[in-house]
Amino acid sequence: MKNCIACGMPMNEVSDFAQGDESKDYCKYCARPDGTMQSYEEKLHGMTHFIIRTQGFDPEAAQNTARALMADLPAWKA
């Protein structure tokens, strides 16, 4: 099992990987339609809206939470 380097999602099935390619280190939710990984800004936007939708946070709190979560992920470490 691998975890997505951009969002932390466990990738247990081939279908969880970007374009079903197990050699990729990121998941289908972090991939653009062409299979490349989303930018930090794209992922931050998507994760912020996911947190709003699933946890009911206000936009500012959701964005702060997304930033904090992303700070610990390999794709976004400085």
Among 36, 28, 32, residue whose Cα is nearest residue 7? 28
- pLDDT per residue, tens digit, the chain (78 aa), is 899 999 999 999 999 999 999 999 999 999 999 999 999 999 999 999 999 999 999 999 999 999 999 999 999 986
Angle at 46 between CA 40 and CA 50, to 5 degrees: 140
Q: Which pLDDT belongs to residue 36?
A: 96
Q: How far apart are CA 10 and CA 24, in angstroms?
A: 13
Q: Which pLDDT belongs to residue 78?
A: 66
**Taking the model in full, what pTM does it have?**
0.88
Domain ranges of the chain: 2-76
